[in-house]
Amino acid sequence: MFLYGASGHAKVIVDILESCGMTVEGLVDDNPEIDSLLGYPVFHGLTEDISPLIVSIGNNRIRKMIVERVKADFGKAVHRSAIVSPRCTLGEGTVVMQGAVVQSGAEIGKHCIVNTGASVDHECRIGDYVHISPHATLCGNVTVGEGTWIGAGTTVIPGVKIGKWSVIGAGSVVIKDIPDGVLAVGSPCRVIKYEYNR
């Protein structure tokens, strides 16, 4: 497995791969000053023949840009301490981190991050390039649109729909639908900025 991106997020993914007994062949990064990470070599300028690959960058927009730029087959990674139902789906490039839970019937899109201790319950629909931050809780039948970032410790009640490319602030309690492209925070969660994250 190769990783694209050699910073803090990559360190966690290396731990995940090692926990599963998977081989890390190396990392790719655009910063020429980084030559190694956790003892693994870091290459520069490679965009082909680096398969399977996981883009190990936390920023959703940058992750999408790199996915669209490189030519690779994409892998996925699930830490051995995560609880992932065999009746859920995980898209290519998706990472499920330590202690996370993904329940039966959940659909996680491509190149998503289900971060440390996050919980995604039954029948949730998570679009591509979504980041569900540490200890966020998505109750049953929640929908999250492409590119949205759910902040750490957020709770989303059952049946809520959150739009594309929005940001939900840390610790929010989302009790009603949130539109595309906004910043929303608080308990209860309210939109505080429109045309955000576009």
Q: Which domains does the chain have, with CATH numbers?
A: 2-69 (3.40.50.20), 77-187 (2.160.10.10)
Active site (catalytic) residues: 122
Q: How far is CA 25 from CA 15, 53, 156, 184, in A?
A: 14, 10, 38, 40
Considering the entire predicted model, what is its pTM?
0.94
Neighbour order of strands in the sheet with 149-150: 77-78, 95-96, 113-114, 131-132, 149-150, 167-168, 183-185, 190-193
Backbone angles phi, psi at 69, to 5 degrees: -90, -35
C-alpha 117: how far from chain center: 13
Ordered per-residue pLDDT tens for the chain, 198 residues:
999 999 999 999 999 999 999 989 999 998 889 999 999 999 987 666 788 999 999 999 999 999 998 888 999 999 999 999 999 999 999 999 999 999 999 999 999 999 999 999 999 999 999 999 999 999 999 999 999 999 999 999 999 999 999 999 999 999 999 999 999 999 999 999 898 765
